[in-house]
Copies of this chain bind each other. A is one copy, B any other.
Amino acid sequence: MAKIKTLTNGTKKEVILKNAALLFRKNGFKATSLRELAETMHIEAPSLYNHIGSKGELLQEICFTVGKDFTAKMETVLASKEDSEEKIKTLVQFHIQKIYTDFDNVFVSNHEWKHLQKKQLSDFLKQRKQYENNFIAIVQHGVKEKIFKPLNPQVVVLTILSAVRGLEFLHSHINEFSLAKLEEGVTQHLLTGITK
């Protein structure tokens, strides 16, 4: 009856993806039904199939779109002339920006990827592992050049990624701090610590 509004919202598929990301974030992928998703657009569940292939496809597109964003950023950072410290600053700030500007998608990608189907799941994890390894290489380089303390690069990266990936609970504090303040605060913390 009521067609999906797409005037200012992009294509229909994009509207569906946006609403799906919101629901997947709030309730989880498994706990979100297609009926519920359809309801947000005032249509019936089967009508979704004029636009999508399956429920799983939605999760897939969300996770891989986000994944590609981070992979692309990593490529440009690796190709840049920044030193190790600047590279890490750039990456950490990118994580924070993404959480601000693309919260639902980033959250879903970080928390619901385990519900991807087998093949996609393994691709996703491969991509993540690659990202992680690139990150580790940057830290290793910084240690070798004595910009960083003689730390275990793997542990350092796991700590940083853990911190920035979990930052979504900053979302409830959004507008309380400006984006710039947060970027500065978190980056300085992860690089220089908090003790005097």
A residues neighboring B (CB under 8 Å): 26-28, 30-31, 85, 111, 114-115, 139, 142, 146-149, 151-152, 154-156, 158-167, 169-170, 173, 177, 181-182, 185-186, 188-196
Whether A149 and B31, one on each chain, are in contact in the complex, defined by CB atoms closer than 8 angstroms, is no
Whether B163 and A186, one on each chain, are in contact in the complex, defined by CB atoms closer than 8 angstroms, is no
Whether A149 and B181, one on each chain, are in contact in the complex, defined by CB atoms closer than 8 angstroms, is no
B residues less than 8 Å from A194 (CB atoms): 139, 142, 148-149, 151, 156, 190-193
Copy count, this protein chain = 2
A-B contact pairs, 18 of them (CB 8 A): A28-B30, A30-B31, A111-B111, A147-B195, A147-B196, A148-B196, A151-B194, A155-B177, A155-B185, A155-B186, A156-B185, A156-B189, A159-B163, A162-B166, A162-B167, A163-B163, A166-B166, A191-B193
Identify the interface centre among A165, A177, A186, A196: most chain B CB within 10 Å of its CB. Answer: A196
Given known pairs A27-B114, A191-B195, the reply for A167 and B158 (CB within 8 Å) is yes
B residues less than 8 Å from A31 (CB atoms): 30, 115
B residues less than 8 Å from A170 (CB atoms): 158
Whether B181 and A152, one on each chain, are in contact in the complex, defined by CB atoms closer than 8 angstroms, is yes
Distance between A145 CB and nearest chain B CB, rounded to angstroms: 10
Expressed in whole angstroms, the Cα–Cα distance for A112 and B27 within the complex equals: 10
B residues less than 8 Å from A142 (CB atoms): 194
B residues less than 8 Å from A188 (CB atoms): 151
Expressed in whole angstroms, the Cα–Cα distance for A30 and B27 within the complex equals: 10
* Known interface pairs A152-B181, A162-B169, A193-B193; 4 further A-B residue pairs with C-beta atoms within 8 A, sorted by A's residue number: A26-B114, A28-B115, A151-B188, A154-B177
Expressed in whole angstroms, the Cα–Cα distance for A99 and B31 within the complex equals: 26
**Interface residue from B165, B185, B195 paired with A148 (Cβ < 8 Å):** B195
Distance between A18 CB and nearest chain B CB, rounded to angstroms: 20
Residue of B whose beta carbon sits closest to that of A187: B159
Whether B189 and A151, one on each chain, are in contact in the complex, defined by CB atoms closer than 8 angstroms, is yes
